[in-house]
């Protein structure tokens, strides 16, 4: 029996074809419609020359056509490669050159960005609009090629295997270049199974999805599980706090997933105090720990909360703090999900730590990714002895609960987005008035963390902070650009000339 995800939708459509799978901008899509459309699209893609194992890139906000395309890829043995819509053309071009997709679907407003990126990438993939009409036109090319028979004879029409690629999600890179994390059908199957056993979804649940579909969480934290179980997903094109609060009441939303900033913006909205949250059975938070004041705000409204921890390379679910423990363990990430093993690795010796302690969190299980796309060296560095090295320093207590203490890498999390300072440092280093630079994450009430760039100017120069920030924003997605710039005479360094970022964070704290 295969764990390929295309089977999920076929089985569900056979059992409950008229049940609503998606609500988007007031329009409903049934399971039967979603299954039939994805079958035709799968056949159409193969008929158009897209081969098994090829990448299908997307540049779009959340929309039902993206879901249809996901399941078409799952059925046809293709690898969906969703690209972050907040990236600049050079950043998109890098991912196109690396993934080499056969086709890229873009939302109409993003087609010019996709075309610019394709041209500069040097990779001659086709760019198509991700619209109902665009997909229907492509799907019709497959109507005479056995639509609904993607599991037929021949390699191009056999069902995907468990270890076939399904999602290629790019993560921020410590060296300044993102890496593509390849997730297989089996990875997605097991992470959703473990999610259901740790944070159950029911067929009568209504899921509000506001996380973007270019994140692994936009698929593997509730939406795919909902479509497996036969629940309804209220799909939002983007997050708006006021609209989210209204939809909870209007659509009978019972559960949702977000990062701390999601819940902060909703709590800060003028309508939060009077919003009808009575049907909200549970919310899930990830990306960073929920601050205690914000946690209390939601608990006081009678909403149960599940805290989690994960990373793209683990598809992403790793740790879960059950709702009954969250009030007494604020800031903790929890215990491993079912089917997931975790351990602590001694940072100095590389050995495994027993009992309570602090070390690098490592992960093992069927949810751990197949590797970085075309980067075996990076894969070998990330997975040693069968354990995925997260780069996060965690503490484990005597009861087996974990919390994240620090990051072995320089990454910080801003509004749920992973940010690696190396990217901004590389851009700032190219500014003519910058001699040296180091970027660190600093606390921010709105986004959790933001970047602060400590800049050593070239002799005689005194660049304006606004100028340097604008320089970054012209070349990087907004969330990657530092919010603050501090001019300094020199950067603190160790005996081997490594920049001591801990001291820079200390400088920030002392400055208040």
Please, which pLDDT band fits residue 173 given cuts at 50, 70 and 90? low
The mean pLDDT of the chain is 91
What pLDDT shows up at residue 494? 65
Does the structure show a pLDDT above 70 at 149? Answer: no
Residue 267 and residue 246: Cα distance in Å, rounded?
13
What pLDDT shows up at residue 330? 85
Identify the three-state secondary structure at position 65: helix
| Cβ atoms of residues 427 and 419 within 8 Å | no
Label the pairing between strands 55-59 and 27-30.
unpaired
The structure tokens listed for 25 are 């901008």
Please, which pLDDT band fits residue 176 given cuts at 50, 70 and 90? low
The structure tokens listed for 429 are 């280093």
Does the structure show a pLDDT above 60 at 488? Answer: yes
What pLDDT shows up at residue 375? 95
Provide mean pLDDT across the span 393-415: 87
pLDDT > 90 in the chain, percent? 75
The pTM of the full predicted model, rounded to 2 decimals, is: 0.86
The structure tokens listed for 97 are 């050159």
Question: Largest Cα–Cα distance in the chain?
Answer: 73
Provide mean pLDDT across the span 133-144: 76
Span 313-362, pLDDT tens digits: 999 999 999 888 988 888 899 999 999 999 999 887 889 999 999 999 99
- For tokens 């320093």, name the residue: 393
Provide mean pLDDT across the span 102-109: 97
Does the structure show a pLDDT above 60 at 10? Answer: yes
What pLDDT shows up at residue 66? 98
What pLDDT shows up at residue 152? 40
Residue 228 vs residues 6, 197, 272: alpha-carbon distances, Å: 10, 14, 32
Provide mean pLDDT across the span 474-492: 93
Please, which pLDDT band fits residue 217 given cuts at 50, 70 and 90? very high
Span 299-315, pLDDT tens digits: 999 999 999 999 999 99
Span 260-285, pLDDT tens digits: 889 989 999 999 999 999 999 999 99
What pLDDT shows up at residue 154? 47
What pLDDT shows up at residue 418? 80
What pLDDT shows up at residue 292? 83
Those residues whose C-beta lies under 8 Å from the C-beta of residue 469, and which sit 6 or more positions away, are 481, 482, 483, 485
What pLDDT shows up at residue 126? 93
Identify the three-state secondary structure at position 405: strand
Does the structure show a pLDDT above 50 at 144? Answer: no
* 73 φ/ψ angles, rounded to the nearest 5 degrees: -65, -40
What pLDDT shows up at residue 145? 40
Label the pairing between strands 20-24 and 27-30.
antiparallel
* 3 φ/ψ angles, rounded to the nearest 5 degrees: -100, 15
3-state helix, strand, coil split of the chain in percent (to 5) is: 35, 25, 40
Span 451-478, pLDDT tens digits: 999 999 999 999 999 999 999 999 999 9
Q: What angle do CA 478, 483, 489 make, to 5 degrees?
A: 130
Please, which pLDDT band fits residue 503 given cuts at 50, 70 and 90? confident
Label the pairing between strands 448-457 and 484-487.
parallel
pLDDT > 70 in the chain, percent? 93
Does the structure show a pLDDT above 80 at 512? Answer: no
Provide mean pLDDT across the span 64-71: 98
For the ranges 72-81, 154-163, 300-309, the maximum mean pLDDT occurs at 72-81
Interhelix angle for 292-300 vs 260-268, to 10°?
A: 60
Does the structure show a pLDDT above 50 at 153? Answer: no
Cβ atoms < 10 Å from Cβ of 23: 19
Does the structure show a pLDDT above 70 at 244? Answer: yes
What pLDDT shows up at residue 146? 40
Span 411-441, pLDDT tens digits: 888 998 888 887 898 899 889 999 889 999 9
H or E segment at 180? strand 179-184
Identify the three-state secondary structure at position 396: strand
Please, which pLDDT band fits residue 142 given cuts at 50, 70 and 90? low
Provide mean pLDDT across the span 394-408: 88
What pLDDT shows up at residue 157? 58
Does the structure show a pLDDT above 80 at 148? Answer: no
């Amino acid at each position: 029996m295969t764990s390929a995800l295309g089977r999920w939708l076929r089985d569900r459509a056979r059992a409950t074809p008229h049940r609503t799978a998606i609500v988007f901008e007031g329009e409903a899509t049934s399971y039967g419609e979603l299954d039939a459309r994805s079958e035709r699209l799968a056949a159409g893609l193969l008929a158009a020359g897209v081969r098994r194992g090829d990448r299908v890139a997307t540049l779009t906000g959340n929309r039902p056509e993206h879901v249809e395309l996901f399941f078409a890829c799952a059925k046809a043995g293709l690898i969906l490669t969703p690209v972050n819509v907040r990236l600049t053309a050079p950043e998109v071009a890098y991912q196109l050159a690396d993934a080499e997709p056969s086709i890229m679907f873009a939302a109409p407003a993003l087609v010019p960005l996709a075309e610019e990126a394709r041209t500069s990438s040097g990779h001659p993939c086709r760019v198509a609009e991700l619209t109902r009409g665009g997909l229907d036109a492509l799907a019709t090319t497959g109507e005479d090629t056995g639509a609904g028979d993607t599991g037929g004879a021949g390699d191009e029409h056999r069902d995907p295997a468990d270890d076939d690629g399904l999602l290629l999600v790019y993560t921020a890179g410590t060296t300044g270049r993102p890496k593509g994390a390849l997730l297989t059908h089996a990875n997605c199957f097991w992470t959703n199974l473990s999610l259901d056993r740790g944070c159950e979804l029911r067929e009568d649940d209504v899921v509000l999805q506001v996380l973007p579909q270019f994140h692994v969480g936009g698929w593997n934290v509730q939406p795919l599980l909902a479509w497996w179980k036969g629940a309804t997903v209220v799909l939002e094109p983007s997050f708006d706090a006021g609209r989210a609060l209204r939809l909870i009441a209007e659509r009978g939303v019972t559960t949702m997933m977000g990062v701390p900033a999601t819940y902060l913006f909703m709590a800060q909205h003028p309508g939060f105090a009077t919003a009808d949250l009575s049907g909200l059975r549970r919310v899930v938070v990830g990306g960073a720990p929920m601050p205690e004041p914000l946690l209390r705000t939601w608990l006081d409204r009678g909403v149960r909360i599940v805290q989690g921890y994960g990373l793209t390379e683990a598809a992403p679910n790793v740790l879960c703090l059950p709702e009954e423990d969250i009030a007494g363990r604020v800031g903790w990430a929890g215990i491993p999900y079912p089917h997931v093993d975790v351990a602590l690795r001694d940072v100095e010796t590389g050995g495994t730590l027993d009992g309570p302690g602090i070390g690098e969190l490592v992960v093992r299980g069927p949810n751990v990714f197949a590797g970085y796309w075309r980067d075996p060296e990076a894969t070998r560095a990330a997975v040693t002895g069968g354990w995925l090295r997260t780069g996060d320093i965690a503490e484990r207590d005597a009861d087996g609960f974990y919390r994240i203490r620090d990051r072995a890498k320089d990454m910080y999390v801003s509004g749920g987005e992973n940010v690696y300072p190396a990217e901004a440092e590389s851009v700032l280093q190219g500014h003519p008035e910058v001699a040296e630079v180091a970027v660190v994450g600093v606390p921010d009430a709105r986004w959790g963390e933001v970047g602060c760039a400590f800049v050593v100017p070239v002799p005689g120069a005194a660049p304006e902070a606004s100028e340097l920030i604008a320089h970054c924003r012209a070349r990087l997605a907004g969330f990657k650009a530092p919010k603050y710039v501090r001019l300094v005479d020199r950067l603190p360094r160790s005996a081997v000339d490594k920049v001591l970022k801990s001291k820079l964070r200390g400088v920030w704290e002392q400055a208040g």
